């Protein structure tokens, strides 16, 4: 499957392909990170991109899925979070210069719940 084809799939299709081991969460994450790298200088849509954390999470998800430990339709699906949602250890600016260096020491409830679904995030979307 070509890079462009991967980027055009909806979540349900991605989930099915991940579950059936037709696509790897690592492959998907790499493609998305490459696309963000290409477009973000023009669009300025992402404030913080957590590439290493995203790839680590994708590798863990892939290992779990290969081990037949699929957690459900969100397992291995990367997402972006609005920059006002607290993410432990990841800069959260809330779109303000006042918080440009703020790094929360806990995850928001929504992040905790997403982690239980084995969904992972790799970027913080600009708050405007």
Give residue 115's pLDDT band: very low, low, confident or very high (50, 70, 90): confident
Average pLDDT of the chain? 88
pLDDT tens per residue, range 25-77: 999 999 999 999 999 999 999 988 989 988 998 999 999 999 998 888 889 99
End-to-end alpha carbon distance in the chain: 35
Give strand pairing partners of 125: 46, 82
Q: What is the DSSP string of 58-119?
A: HHHHHHHHHTT----TTTT-EEEEETTS-BTTB---TT-GGGTT---SS--HHHHHHHHTT-
Q: How far apart are the C-alpha atoms of 44 and 5, rounded to whole Å?
A: 24
> What was the pLDDT predicted at 17?
96
Provide CB contacts within 8 A for 52, sequence distance 6+: none
pLDDT at 128 over 90: no
Per domain, the residue ranges of the chain are 3-125
> What was the pLDDT predicted at 5?
86
Give strand pairing partners of 78: 120
Give residue 113's pLDDT band: very low, low, confident or very high (50, 70, 90): confident
Enter the pTM of the model.
0.85
Give strand pairing partners of 121: 79
Burial 38-49 (b: 16+ CB within 10 A, else e): eeeeeeeebbbb
pLDDT tens per residue, range 82-107: 999 999 999 999 989 999 999 999 99
pLDDT tens per residue, range 118-127: 665 556 666 5
Sign of the torsion formed by the C-alpha atoms of 12, 37, 34 and 60 = negative
> What was the pLDDT predicted at 123?
61
């Amino acid at each position: 499957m070509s890079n462009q084809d991967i980027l055009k799939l909806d979540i349900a299709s991605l989930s099915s392909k991940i579950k059936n081991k037709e696509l790897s969460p690592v492959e998907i994450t790499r493609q998305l990170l490459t696309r963000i790298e290409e477009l973000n200088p023009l669009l300025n849509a992402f404030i913080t991109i957590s590439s290493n954390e995203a790839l680590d999470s994708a590798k863990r998800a892939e290992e779990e899925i290969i081990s037949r430990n699929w957690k459900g339709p969100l397992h291995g699906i990367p997402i972006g979070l609005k920059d006002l949602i607290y993410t432990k250890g990841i800069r959260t600016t809330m779109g303000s210069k006042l918080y440009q260096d703020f790094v929360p020491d806990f995850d928001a409830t929504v992040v905790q719940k997403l982690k239980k679904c084995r969904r992972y995030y790799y970027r913080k979307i600009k708050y405007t």
